[in-house]
Chain A
Amino acid sequence: MTRKNWKYLGRWAVLALVGLITFSFLASGLGDRPGLPLASITPVGNSSLKNTALKSSVASSLPLSPLVERASLSSLQGVQDIDDEFRRAWQKEDMEVAGRADWLTICRRLSLALVGSGMSLEEIRALEVLPEGERIITHRERLLQDRRFAEYWAERFARSVVGTEDGPFLVYRRRRFVTWLTEQIATNQSYDSIVRQLLTAKGYFTDRPEVNFVTVTMNSNEEGQPDPIRLAGRTTRAFLGMRIDCLQCHDDFLGNVKLGTPSDSREGTQQDFHQLAAFYSDTRFNILQGVRSEHHPYQYKYLDAEEKVEVAPAVPFAAELLPDTGSNAERLAAWVTSPDNRQTRRAIANRAWALMFGKPLHSPVDDIPLYGPLPPALDRLADIVLEQHWDLRQLIRAISETEVFQMSSEAKFEIEEQHELAWAVFPLVRLRPEQVARTVMQSSRLSTINDASAFLLQMIAFGAENDFVTRYGDTGEDEFEQDSITITQRLLMMNGQMVRERSEQNPVLNASSHIQMFAKENSTAVDSVYLAVLNRYPNKVERTHFVTRFTAAESRIAAIEDLYWVLLNSSELAWNH
Chain B
Amino acid sequence: MNLDQAQPRVCSGGVHFHRRTLLRGIGGGLFFSPLSGWLTQAAESGDTSRPKSVILLWLEGGASQLETFDPHPGTKIGGQVKGISTSAKGIEISDLMPRTAEQMHHMALIRSVTSKEGDHERAVYNVKTGYRPDPTLIHPTVGAILCHESDSGADIPRHVSILPGMSPARGGFLGAKYDAFKIYDPASPVPDVTATVDDPRLQRRLDDLRLVAESQFERRRLRDAAAMRTFHPASTDAARQMMNSEQLGAFDVSTESKSERDAFGNTPFGRGCLAASRLIEVGVRCVEVTLGGWDTHINNHSFHVSGCSTLDVALAALVHRLAERDLLKTTLVVCGGEFGRTPQINAAEGRDHWPHGFTVAMAGCGVRGGSVFGATNANPRLDTETPTDNLEDPVTVADVHATILKALDVPWNREIVTPIGRPMKYADGTPIDKVLS
Contact = CB atoms under 8 A, between A and B. Distances in A.
A163 B135 contact: yes
B235 A485 contact: yes
Interface string B218-248: 1111110110011110011011001100000
Nearest to A563: B208
A495 B222 contact: no
B292 interface: no
A263 interface: no
B239 A487 contact: yes
Contacts of B175: 483-484
A19 interface: no
B217 A571 contact: yes
Interface stretch (A340-348, A354-362, A385-393, A412-420): A412-420
B298 interface: no
Interface in A159-184: 163, 165-168
Given A412-B220, A566-B213, A570-B214, A487 B135 contact: no
A487 B1 contact: no
A562 B221 contact: no
Contacts of B27: 484
B368 interface: no
Contacts of A490: 235-236, 238-239
A84 interface: no
Interface in B132-159: 133-136, 138, 157
B39 interface: no
Contact of A487 (B216, B220, B230, B242): B242
Given A237-B135, A488-B179, A562-B204, A494 B213 contact: no
A471 B122 contact: no
Contact of A478 (B122, B134, B138, B242): B138
Contact of A492 (B26, B118, B192, B226): B192
A243 B418 CA distance: 14
B420 interface: yes
B70 to A, nearest CB: 23
A423 to B, nearest CB: 13
Which of B26, B157, B201, B205 has the largest count of A CB atoms less than 10 A from its CB?
B205
B260 interface: no
A483 B419 contact: no
A303 to B, nearest CB: 16
B308 to A, nearest CB: 26
A134 interface: no
B119 interface: yes
Nearest to B421: A256
A483 B177 contact: yes
Interface in B1-60: 1, 26-27, 29-30
Contacts of A74: none
B373 interface: no
Contact of B201 (A233, A364, A485, A562): A562
A410 to B, nearest CB: 4
Interface string B110-146: 0000001011011000000000011110100000000
Nearest to B180: A488
Interface stretch (A449-457, A506-514, A541-549): A541-549
Nearest to B422: A246
Interface in A8-40: none
A495 B193 contact: yes
Given A494-B236, A545-B208, A565-B205, A471 B191 contact: yes
Interface string A482-519: 01111111111011100010000000000000000000
Given A478-B138, A541-B212, A488 B182 contact: yes
B204 A219 contact: no
Contact of B136 (A246, A549, A566, A575): A246
A487 B30 contact: yes
A428 B229 contact: yes
Interface centre among A425, A570, A574 (most CB of B within 10 A): A570
B176 interface: yes
Contacts of A428: 221-222, 225, 229-230
A245 B135 contact: yes
Contacts of B30: 487
A491 B213 contact: no
A243 B137 CA distance: 11
B348 interface: no
A415 to B, nearest CB: 5
In this complex, which of B157, B236, B242 has the most chain A Cβ atoms within 10 angstroms of its Cβ? B236
A228 to B, nearest CB: 13
A412 B29 CA distance: 35
Nearest to A574: B230
B231 A484 contact: yes
A483 B136 CA distance: 17
B422 A569 contact: no
A222 interface: yes
B225 to A, nearest CB: 6
Nearest to B194: A495
B134 A245 contact: yes
Given A486-B179, A562-B208, A491 B242 contact: yes
B223 A409 contact: no
B384 interface: yes
Contact of A416 (B134, B223, B242): B223
A546 B209 CA distance: 11
B158 to A, nearest CB: 10
B235 A487 contact: yes
Contacts of A364: 419-420
A503 to B, nearest CB: 9
A539 interface: yes
A287 interface: no
A119 B227 CA distance: 29
A574 B229 CA distance: 12
Contact of B222 (A230, A234, A420): A420
Contacts of B119: 168, 219-220
Nearest to B209: A566
B176 A486 contact: yes
Given A415-B221, A416-B223, A491-B192, A486 B177 contact: yes
B416 to A, nearest CB: 16
A487 B176 contact: no
A495 B176 contact: no
Interface in B391-429: 419-422
Contacts of A305: none
A62 B434 CA distance: 73
Given A417-B222, A487-B235, A566-B208, A471 B182 contact: yes
Contacts of A570: 209, 213-214, 217
B196 interface: yes
Residue from B118, B134, B216, B229 whose CB has the most chain A CB atoms within 10 Å: B229
Residue with the greatest number of chain B CB neighbours at <10 A, chosen from A485, A486, A549: A486
A575 B182 CA distance: 24
B193 A545 contact: no
Contact of A409 (B201, B212, B221): B221
Interface of A: 163, 165-168, 219-220, 222, 230, 233-234, 237, 243, 245-246, 254, 256, 364, 367, 409-412, 414-417, 419-420, 425, 428, 430, 471, 473, 476-478, 481, 483-492, 494-496, 500, 539, 541-542, 545-546, 549, 558, 562-563, 565-567, 569-572, 574-575, 577
25 contacts: A168-B119, A222-B118, A246-B422, A256-B421, A409-B221, A412-B220, A414-B223, A415-B223, A428-B221, A484-B27, A484-B176, A485-B230, A486-B176, A486-B235, A487-B242, A488-B179, A494-B236, A496-B192, A539-B216, A541-B212, A542-B213, A549-B208, A562-B205, A571-B226, A572-B217
Given A484-B231, A487-B30, A494-B192, 16 more contacts: A222-B116, A222-B118, A222-B384, A410-B221, A415-B222, A416-B223, A417-B222, A473-B176, A473-B179, A483-B177, A484-B26, A488-B181, A541-B212, A549-B208, A566-B205, A569-B236
9 cross-chain pairs, A with B, having the tightest CB-CB distances, nearest first:
A219-B119, A491-B192, A570-B213, A490-B239, A410-B220, A483-B176, A572-B217, A490-B235, A571-B230
